[in-house]
């Protein structure tokens, strides 16, 4: 461990508080955070009986609200990354240099903590809603009566206007949030994101407490008819906007099944993967300016295309794209910056994650086939990238972590994670709706089909010292499953346009046609406590005439 961590003491009887921690914290106090330890004791009786002869000075009370899903080692409760109960989520109760552990409790005050397994809301929320009390996603809205862009959260069939809520002193129940309430008057989520995950965590939990059936802050919203009228708006009445002003956009290629399927199409099964694929998270830098919010139409692009790829010499023509496609992805926003020249360790990368969105990386396959050598895709990918309007905070999806595709490659140390449940397990569906209104679900898959995790992507992105910024967007790459009907692109489903997809109403598609609408949905959890994105959609419009 590093010098700032809790290290074994000289007698080997546990862990002591290393003196190197003193400059940052001194002796830990109740209100201070320790970002290092990941072990807490069981209740005292269990702890003492399990120490197997090692003197245990743990005299702490049993932990309350310990999550059901955890792993036990022989002497301690080891909080896995799946439970996401990391030290940034806890306050130090007390600490002495001679005790082997420090006991932690929820960082948030008790009145702001919501037990999502039993808590209900005073607001009517459908069990099938993506925006349950367990979620609390953030976005940017405007209304017909007020065109100002401002932050909001989605809950059930409503959006809580955070600007109006803050202006009415809705955050008076938390001194910490109230001091920063000005961020809820910003036209984007950038300033909110920049405050970091501990603050995001506190805001989310506070809002959950506001909507809890037994809320201790009933006067702020539940019993405040006037504020409910002005701040709690039907989702159908609000216009959503791009949630953050995006500085840079990087798209990865972490979907192993997609990479294999496409590799087979172009190079055959024996050479489907490039030699580097399992050694590093492959990516390219995309175009941030053409990232658009869900519902924005996508114009069919023009580009250089080889009409006859087998002809010699190879002479391209300027044509409308004939092979327009989708790519089913997840997107992730950065909240915490790193200094130029300083890589982010994979074990600390999670603290840089603000939240997640659904993504459709629209692709012009015929343009891409001609232009991608030798530097990769360019205009074939800059025609538009659609993202969902609501950002799911990283903490909201903590419980959805699962094991991704196993990588048998001996990774370099900077990419090695100390956990197996390292990717999100999000159920994903894609609908194709034709101009006649016929809807067909063309794909069902899950985001567990990724070879690389977000921490690994961040670690690799920054290993050169590249500095990520608060408004940066990272894409996962196309998410495909191993079976038919789980592909994340039409290119894969049609084997490059050789086999048509049969749609409801008798129509067929080899690629997208003008008037087609793509709708992607994603969610985790069970009914009553779904943590979902809503959807990301886009309709294909005809190409503009150039001549």
- Could you tell me which residues are annotated as the binding site for substrate? 253, 267, 368, 372, 478
Nearest to 336 by CA among 419, 455, 182: 455
Residues 293 and 242 sit within 8 Å (Cβ to Cβ): yes
Binding site members: 251, 253, 267, 327, 329, 361, 368, 372, 381, 385, 478
Query: CA distances (Å), 178 to each of 153, 182, 328, 430, in order?
Result: 17, 8, 38, 40
Binding site members for Ca(2+): 251, 327, 329, 361
Residues 33 and 92 sit within 8 Å (Cβ to Cβ): yes
Binding site members for Mg(2+): 361, 381, 385
β partners of residue 238: 143
Q: How far apart are the first and last CA of the chain?
A: 65
Q: Rounded to an integer, what distance in angstroms lies between the CA atom of residue 156 and that of residue 322?
A: 40
Query: CA distances (Å), 526 to each of 200, 323, 396, in order?
Result: 23, 37, 14
User: DSSP for 478-545?
Assistant: ----SSTT--SSHHHHTTTTTSPEE-GGG-EESS--TT-EEEEEEEES-TTS-EEEEEEEEEEEPPPP
Q: Rounded to an integer, what distance in angstroms lies between the CA atom of residue 270 and that of residue 257?
A: 15
Q: What is the 3-state secondary structure (H, E, C) of 45-71?
A: HHHHHHCCCCCCCCCCCCCCCCCCCCE
Catalytic one of 76, 112, 130, 258: 258
Tell me, yes or no, if 258 is annotated catalytic: yes
Task: Enumerate residues 6+ apart whose C-beta is below 8 A from 401.
Answer: 81, 82, 84, 421, 422, 423, 424, 425
Question: Burial of 528 by CB count in 10 Å (0-12 exposed, 13-18 middle, 19+ buried)?
Answer: middle
Q: Rounded to an integer, what distance in angstroms lies between the CA atom of residue 245 and that of residue 291?
A: 10
Query: CA distances (Å), 404 to each of 44, 193, 420, 531, in order?
Result: 36, 27, 8, 19
Q: Rounded to an integer, what distance in angstroms lies between the CA atom of residue 209 and that of residue 112?
A: 5
Active site residues: 258
């Amino acid at each position: 461990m590093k010098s700032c961590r809790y290290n074994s003491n000289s007698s080997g009887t546990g862990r002591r508080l290393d003196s190197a921690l003193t400059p940052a914290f001194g002796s830990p106090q109740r209100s201070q955070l320790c970002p290092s330890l990941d072990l807490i004791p069981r209740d005292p009786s269990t702890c003492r009986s399990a120490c197997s002869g090692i003197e245990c000075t743990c005299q702490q009370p049993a932990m309350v609200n310990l999550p059901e899903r955890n792993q036990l080692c022989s002497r301690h409760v080891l909080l896995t990354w799946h439970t996401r109960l990391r030290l940034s989520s806890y306050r130090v109760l007390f600490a002495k240099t001679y005790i082997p552990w420090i006991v932690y409790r929820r960082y948030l005050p008790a009145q702001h903590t919501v037990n999502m397994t039993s808590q209900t809301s005073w607001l009517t929320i459908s069990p099938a809603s993506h925006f349950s009390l367990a979620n609390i996603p953030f976005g940017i809205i405007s209304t017909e009566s007020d065109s100002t862009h401002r932050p909001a959260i989605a809950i059930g069939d409503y959006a809580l206007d955070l600007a109006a809520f803050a202006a009415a002193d809705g955050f008076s129940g938390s001194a910490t949030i109230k001091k920063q309430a000005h961020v809820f008057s910003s036209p984007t989520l950038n300033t909110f994101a920049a405050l970091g995950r501990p603050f995001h965590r506190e805001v989310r939990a506070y809002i959950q407490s506001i909507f809890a059936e037994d809320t201790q802050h009933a006067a702020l919203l539940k019993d405040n008819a006037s504020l409910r009228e002005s701040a709690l708006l039907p989702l159908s009445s609000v216009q959503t906007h791009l949630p953050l002003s995006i500085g840079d956009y990087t798209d990865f290629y972490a979907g192993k099944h997609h990479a294999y399927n496409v590799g087979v199409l172009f190079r055959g099964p024996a050479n489907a993967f490039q030699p580097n694929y399992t050694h590093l998270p492959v990516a390219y830098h995309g175009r941030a300016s053409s990232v658009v919010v869900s519902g924005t139409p996508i114009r069919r692009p023009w580009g250089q295309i080889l009409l006859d790829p087998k002809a010699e010499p190879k002479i391209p023509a300027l044509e409308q794209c004939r092979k327009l496609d989708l790519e089913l992805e997840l997107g992730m926003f950065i909240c915490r910056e790193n200094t130029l020249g300083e890589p982010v360790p994979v074990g600390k990368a999670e603290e840089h994650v603000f939240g997640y969105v659904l993504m459709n990386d629209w692709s012009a396959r015929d343009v891409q086939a001609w232009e991608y050598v030798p530097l990769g895709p360019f205009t074939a990918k800059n025609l538009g990238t659609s993202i969902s309007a609501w950002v799911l905070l990283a903490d909201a999806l903590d419980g959805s972590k699962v094991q991704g595709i196993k990588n048998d490659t001996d990774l370099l140390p900077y990419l090695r994670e100390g956990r197996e449940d390292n990717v999100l397990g999000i159920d994903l569906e894609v609908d194709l709706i034709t101009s006649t209104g016929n809807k067909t679900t063309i794909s069902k898959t899950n985001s567990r089909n990724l070879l690389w995790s977000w921490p690994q992507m961040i670690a690799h992105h920054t290993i050169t010292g590249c500095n990520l910024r608060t408004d940066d967007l990272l894409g996962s790459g196309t998410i495909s499953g191993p079976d038919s009907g789980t592909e994340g692109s039409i290119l894969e489903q049609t084997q490059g346009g050789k086999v048509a997809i049969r749609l409801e109403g008798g129509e067929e598609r080899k690629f997208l046609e003008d008037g087609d609408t793509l709708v992607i949905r994603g969610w985790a959890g069970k009914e009553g406590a779904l943590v979902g994105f809503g959807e990301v959609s886009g309709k294909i419009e005809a190409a503009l005439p150039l001549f």
